[in-house]
Amino acid sequence: MISSSLKHLLITAIVLLLSACSSYTPEIPISPTEKLPTLTTVQPPSIITPIATLPSFDVIDTAVPTLTPSLSTISTAPVDMTSTVVPILIPSINIGMTSTVNSLSLPGTLVNHLALDDKYLYWTTEGGGNLFRYALASSKDSYATIITSTQFDKGKLQMYPAPHLIRAGNWLIFDDHQITVNSHAWALHAINVVNQTRQNLAQSQDSDNLYSFSSDGEWVAWITADLSLKSIINVQNLQTGQHSELPHSDSSSDAWEQVVVSAGQLAATKLSDDGRVLYLFDLKSGQGNKLYADKTGSDMAGLTFDGNWIAWKTGTNYQGSTALYNLQAGKFEMVPISANNQIAPLLTGQWLAWDASADQPLLIYNLERRQGFLVVEAQAGDNLSCVAIHANVIAWCRVHPNSLDLSSFDSTVEWRTLP
């Protein structure tokens, strides 16, 4: 199983090698030795034997609407999921932002995941075994700090296809993989940024692989699959250690693919005979519902969920639009502005953003105000990716080829205040 994120990285790398970066930001040094106090590892009993279980998960199998969008059809209002679905054309994004763009230069580095909170930026690098932290209010000559490293002799953090470095509640959630010919060992970790303790949430068993994980700061969920691609969604409460499993898939043609947790609910996609089906589970009651099935062949990549909205990319590869489902209203919309130049949607509260394709600008849309903004323009050879949003701040990474060595990459982490 190759994720859309990995496909994107490989294709982007080829494009970026052909271009040279025209901008330069003064280097901010990184201190590989300056660390937070030693982390105390807490091994939750739930890894070995669950100390408590959640209610059993029941799926209510109701009539499932199917999605057959036609991008040439435009409506002026949301469409009920039970009726024929047509796309909604959201006005073009042409409103620029006026806040100051802050930047942090990381030469010779390919950043692959970003996260942030009120005080800090966090990131991991492609092929790297460290998790970095940098204070948003740092002076120009301040150091970034390594706050933890891979647990393996030859390992790296945030290996594709794991989609996220997650900062939620008091927690940082990240994955760790051993990189050797004969091993695919992995571990899923959670660091409590308040008391500096760490939980090893899960680790590889026999021949299973980690495919997707998510957290809302209270719950964490992850998908594992064995060599036959029979898959399991695990769910655990970060505070109590309660652990449970959703109904298992029984074959590679009936497999869980993506999972996202928000506000005590879990959204997940599953490949089945009905195409790809979107489910929604309540983690306290254990009740689950099928929201709809997509029989168009869409890979539903980039599933994202926050509060009242669920979003994903329709279509395959880099074609298609962003699908939006409003849980309270039971309404479905299409966002064609993401076609061809926007991928991997990200929902954070009322904000909908996308990683951009190479040489394309970074856009963001406010779902409540129905207003779009141009966050930043791309320069020649740029790839604007790794978008992260917290409160009223958006961060991203500007990846570009090294001007002196086109076989290597430089990264510039940037951030600014949202309007």
Short-list 18, 92, 140, 29, CA closest to 373: 92
| CB 353 within 8 Å of CB 346 | yes
pTM of the model: 0.79
- For tokens 């029984």, name the residue: 250
What is d(CA 311, CA 338) in angstroms, rounded to the nearest whole number?
12
Alpha carbon of 262 to those of 160, 219, 316: distances in Å?
22, 8, 26
**pLDDT at residue number 7:** 38
What is d(CA 128, CA 199) in angstroms, rounded to the nearest whole number?
21
| CB 279 within 8 Å of CB 264 | no
SS3 194: coil
| CB 289 within 8 Å of CB 62 | yes
**pLDDT tens digits for 116-144?**
999 999 999 988 899 999 999 987 778 89
Q: Output the domain CATH number for residue 393.
A: 2.130.10.10
Backbone angles phi and psi of 98, in degrees to 5 = -110, -5
Instruction: Per-residue pLDDT tens, the chain, 419 aa: give them.
Output: 434 443 333 334 333 333 333 333 333 444 443 333 333 333 332 322 222 333 334 443 333 333 322 222 222 232 333 333 444 444 455 688 999 999 999 998 999 999 999 999 999 998 889 999 999 998 777 889 999 999 988 888 987 655 579 999 999 999 999 888 777 789 999 999 999 888 899 999 767 888 899 999 999 999 998 877 788 999 999 999 989 988 777 766 788 999 999 999 999 999 888 789 999 999 988 888 988 888 888 888 889 999 889 999 887 765 667 888 988 888 888 876 544 456 678 999 999 998 888 888 898 989 888 888 999 999 888 889 999 999 999 999 999 887 777 678 899 999 999 99
**pLDDT tens digits for 57-66?**
444 333 333 3
Short-list 197, 189, 283, 208, CA closest to 244: 283
Beta-strand pair 58-60/287-294: parallel
What is d(CA 38, CA 312) in angstroms, rounded to the nearest whole number?
39
Number of domains forming the structure of the chain: 1
Containing structural domain, residue 72: 4-417
Number of Cβ atoms within 10 Å of the Cβ of 60: 9
Omega before 161 within 30 of 0, i.e. cis: yes
Short-list 283, 285, 284, 280, CA closest to 270: 280
